[in-house]
Amino acid sequence: MMRFLRRQGWVAGLLALLVFLFVLTKLIQPGYGSGDFGSLARAVLPYAFAVAAQTVVVIAGGIDLSVAAMMALTSVTAASMMNGASEEYAYFVVPFVLAMGLVLGALNGLLIVVTRVPDIVVTLATLFVLQGAALLVLDAPGGAAAEWLKATVVGTMPIPGLPDWADAWVPKALVLLLVCLFVIWIPLRRSRLGLSIYAIGSNELAAFRSGVPVARTRIVAYALSGLFAALGGLSLTISTGIGAPIPGPYLLASVAAVVLGGVALGGGKGGLLGPIIAVFVLRLVRTDLTLLAIDPNVTAIIEGAIMVAVVMFGAFITIRGRPAGATP
């Protein structure tokens, strides 16, 4: 029963919860329309990339504590590079920052493989390092973003053959998110590499004995996580127009959404869809709290409490789901 719930029904249940929340939102605020949905999609963007970054690593049986710091570093790098530069220069900045995320993420994986220190400690150390590097790049919020980049997340995407009223519900930010995620995720999931990532998360020893290059796969998983985090950092710069060197609350949010999205913290299970829906659920809860005219600081408390509760619940499920007698 528990197994079925986690495997099949989880994502469907989550989707139902999301729909329920949308209905609730509409009830609280009858005027909730396409414009509000667009701003929701924009707010979700950095969170969704953070969650994607966390998901890849968690599926591979690890955890990445440096996600938020990586986003901060890539965000300030992009913002300070684009500051005062021409519009065309941004065509160089975007691939550069993405490559930076990829390399730094791979470095995370490499450190884990080489030092054999558990990933939670290594990424804690790189969290400090990346945070420091972000402060070196920009010691206060600042920088700028190219106008054409900012335009990629504002407004809606005109889709031919779709009536205007439906078009209004397709914000560019959402399209950008889905395209970025699925261009990377779908080919990966279908490939040998994707299978290897699931394999090392599920049972590292068994994967190793079946000939999976465990070390290489782990490095690739962290590199992908770095890439997603860089996308998150870029989207932060794009949507705010500046870069901030202090990491946002993305680490806890990413872990909470991963757990809520049905990805087992032990690794080897789950997909990307669940966590992404979970991000929308968590953000929509925040929107609802704001619409109910609750003090934003109190909202932060409630949000934090929900995330902690979700993580506690996930940990509890993990103990329950473990076969009796297995070592923790």
Partner 1 sequence: MTNSATMPQPVSLGRRLKRFMADRPLIPLIILLVILVLILQVLRPGIVNERWIANTAKFAIPLAILAGCQTMTMLTGGIDLSVGTVATMSAFIMATQIVNQDPTVAFILAMLPAVLIGLVNGVGVGVFRVHPLIMTLGTSLIGTGFLQVYQRTVIASGAKIPDFLNWLGTGLTYGFPNALFLFVPVAVLIVFTLNRTGFGRLLYAVGDNERAARLSGVRYWQVITALYVISSLLAGITGLLYIGLIKAPSLSLAEPLVLPSVAAAVIGGTSIFGGRGGYMGTIVGALILTVLTTLLTILHMPEGGRRILFGFMVLFVTAAYLRIIEDK
Place of tokens 């609750």: 294
- Tell me the backbone φ, ψ of residue 92, rounded to 5 degrees: -85, -35
Per CB under 8 A, which of residues 120..179 are in contact with partner 1?
Answer: 120-122, 124-129, 131-137, 139
Q: Exposure pattern of 309-326 as b/e (b: 16+ CB <10 Å)?
A: ebbeebeebeeeeeeeee
Binding string, 68-107, against partner 1, x = CB under 8 A? ----------------------------------------
Measured from the Cβ of residue 259, the count of other Cβ atoms closer than 10 Å reads 26
Q: Least distance (Å) from partner 1 to the CB of residue 245?
A: 8
Binding range to partner 1, per CB under 8 A, among 47-55, 116-124, 186-194, 279-287: 116-124
In the bound state with partner 1, the residue whose beta carbon lies nearer, of 213 and 248, is 248
User: Is residue 300 involved in binding partner 1 (CB under 8 A)?
Assistant: yes
User: At CA 247, angle to CA 277 and CA 299, rounded to 5?
Assistant: 55
User: Is residue 301 involved in binding partner 1 (CB under 8 A)?
Assistant: yes
User: Is residue 249 involved in binding partner 1 (CB under 8 A)?
Assistant: yes
In the bound state with partner 1, the residue whose beta carbon lies nearer, of 63 and 229, is 63
User: Is residue 65 involved in binding partner 1 (CB under 8 A)?
Assistant: yes
Place of tokens 């465990």: 214
Instruction: Identify the residue among 12, 117, 162, 292 touching partner 1 (CB under 8 A).
Output: 117
Binding range to partner 1, per CB under 8 A, among 6-14, 110-118, 198-206, 231-239: 110-118
The rounded distance, in Å, linking the Cα atoms of 87 and 145 is 9
Using the Cα atoms of residue 76, residue 77, residue 80 and residue 82 in order, give the sign of their dihedral. Answer: negative
